[in-house]
Amino acid sequence: MKLQLPPGAFRAYLFDCDGTIVDSMPLHYIAWKQALGEWGCTLDEDLFYSWGGKPPVEIIAALNKMRDLKMSVEAVAERKESLYYALLPELKPVPEVLEHIDAQQGSIPFAVVSGSSRESIVKSLTTVGLLDRFPILVGSEDYARSKPAPDAFLTAAARLNIAPKDCLVFEDTDMGIQGATAAGMASVRVPQPNERRNGIGTVTPA
């Protein structure tokens, strides 16, 4: 399977991290199930994927409200991240995205735009040997409103000094695509693990 990009002469590529650069979502789900299970909370896999791009603290707060629980947001978030870090030796890059990173490396600037913390981004990219490809890292600490708001993408464009209309976003979630569109950017949707296994690929122009 190959990703087909929308037409345009783009001056910068903005990449989500989890599920886009790195095939981390199955590992994150394992970590979430264990961390939440310790508090008697469940997380359906479909709901987990639909919330892709949402910062961990927002996921926990939403589950507290949905399940009428009082989980410690910070404690569960820290526990989940520690469980994910323990799984990092299993992490691999997404080949279809790596192909485009390799093709444009040195020609146009790249940035990572993620709902995860900077620490999580750095650990994931270091594990797969790609950290040095991305001079700009935009994590959950760097913007006020998370995806599908455009804040994260606009922050990355400003740091790169590239107009939003000249940026192409690589994203695996609907929230991410919506955020890119709200930022005035074209985007390409990276199929999620089950879709990649079935050879499904889609292009979403903004």
Catalytic residue chosen out of the listed positions 16, 18, 23, 172: 16
3-state SS assignment for residue 182: helix
Strand ranges inside the chain, DSSP E? 12-15, 110-113, 136-138, 167-171, 186-189
Of residues 64, 80, 90, the one with CA closest to residue 117? 80
- The residue written with tokens 């961390």 in the block is 35
Active site residue 16: yes
Contacts of 119 (CB under 8 A, 6+ apart): 81, 139
The identity of residue 67, as a single letter, is R
Tell me phi and psi for residue 151, to 5 degrees: -50, -45
Contacts of 152 (CB under 8 A, 6+ apart): 113, 114, 115, 138, 142, 143, 146, 179
Residue 6 tokens read as: 């929308």
- Find the helix or strand (DSSP H, E) in which 29 lies: helix 25-37
Which residues are known to be catalytic? 16
